[in-house]
């Protein structure tokens, strides 16, 4: 299957895709899927992602929200927590450097003796112990986010994807010709 090579997708009549319609029918009554589908229509081109996350949590009855964030996005995480509180949620937050372990102690590549290691396992444990209903990630490193997702008891949703080079907008590497050239695809 290479949907990306479809010049003009016609999914409603595609023979190759047809067998997969049953997968959707199996989840169509799932409350998360239903809520997401309502939000997609109600807030189309209106709500930002953080508003959509709040809407989803409200519709699902998730009251206690965990925010697992990168220390480099402390301000953004604080703003998100303030927004979630304003929407009436009970918020718990935890920074990626929780535990304060130096990279050198773990034999990891380090940028200096004070360079602390990201601790997605500690972030997950804090939020698991706090009994959060939903965990929102803000700028966790590529790969550390996978460790966090694996260890989190609550479902995980991403508010901000980290891209240090592109002001946390990874899509720019794909939409901007100069960056596409750099990737060797233009
Ligand atoms: S499902 Fe079929 S029509 Fe739709 S994008 Fe994929 S290959 Fe193209």
Alpha helices in 6-97 (DSSP H): 21-27, 31-42, 49-60, 74-86
Is the Cβ–Cβ distance between 129 and 152 less than 8 Å?
Answer: no
Dist. CA 10 → ligand 1 center (Å): 6
Give the pLDDT score at 150: 98
- 16 C-alpha vs ligand 1 centroid, how far in Å? 7
pLDDT at residue 141 in the model: 98
Residue nearest to ligand 1 atom 4, measured at CA: 11
Query: What pLDDT, on the 0 to 100 scale, is given for residue 16?
Result: 94
Note whether 135 and 68 are within 8 A (CB). yes
Pocket of ligand 1 (CB under 6 A): 3, 6, 9-11, 14, 16-17
Q: What is the pLDDT of residue 163?
A: 97
* pLDDT computed for residue 158 by the predictor: 98
Averaged over successive runs of 10 residues, the pLDDT of the chain (186 residues) comes to 93 95 95 98 98 98 98 98 98 98 96 96 98 98 98 98 96 96 95
pLDDT of amino acid 45: 97
Q: Are 11 and 20 in contact (CB under 8 A)?
A: no
The highest-level CATH class for domain 63-186 is: alpha beta
What are the domain boundaries of the chain? Answer: 23-61, 63-186
pLDDT of residue 54: 98
């Amino acid at each position: 299957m290479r949907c990306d090579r479809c010049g003009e997708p016609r999914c409603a009549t595609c023979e190759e895709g047809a067998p997969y319609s049953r997968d959707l029918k199996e989840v169509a009554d799932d409350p998360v899927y239903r809520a997401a589908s309502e939000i997609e229509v109600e807030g189309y081109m209106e709500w930002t992602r953080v508003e959509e996350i709040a809407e989803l949590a409200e519709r699902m009855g998730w009251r206690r929200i965990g925010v697992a964030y990168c220390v480099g996005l402390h301000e953004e995480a604080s703003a998100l927590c303030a927004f979630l509180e304003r929407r009436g949620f009970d918020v718990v937050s935890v920074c990626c450097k929780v535990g304060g372990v130096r990279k050198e102690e773990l034999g990891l590549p380090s940028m200096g003796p004070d360079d602390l290691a990201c601790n997605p396992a500690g972030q997950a444990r804090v939020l698991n112990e706090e009994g959060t209903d939903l965990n929102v990630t803000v700028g966790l490193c590529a790969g550390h986010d996978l460790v966090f997702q694996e260890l989190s008891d609550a479902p995980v949703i991403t508010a901000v994807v980290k891209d240090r080079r592109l002001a946390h907008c990874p899509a720019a590497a794909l939409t901007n010709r100069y960056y596409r050239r750099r990737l060797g695809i233009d």
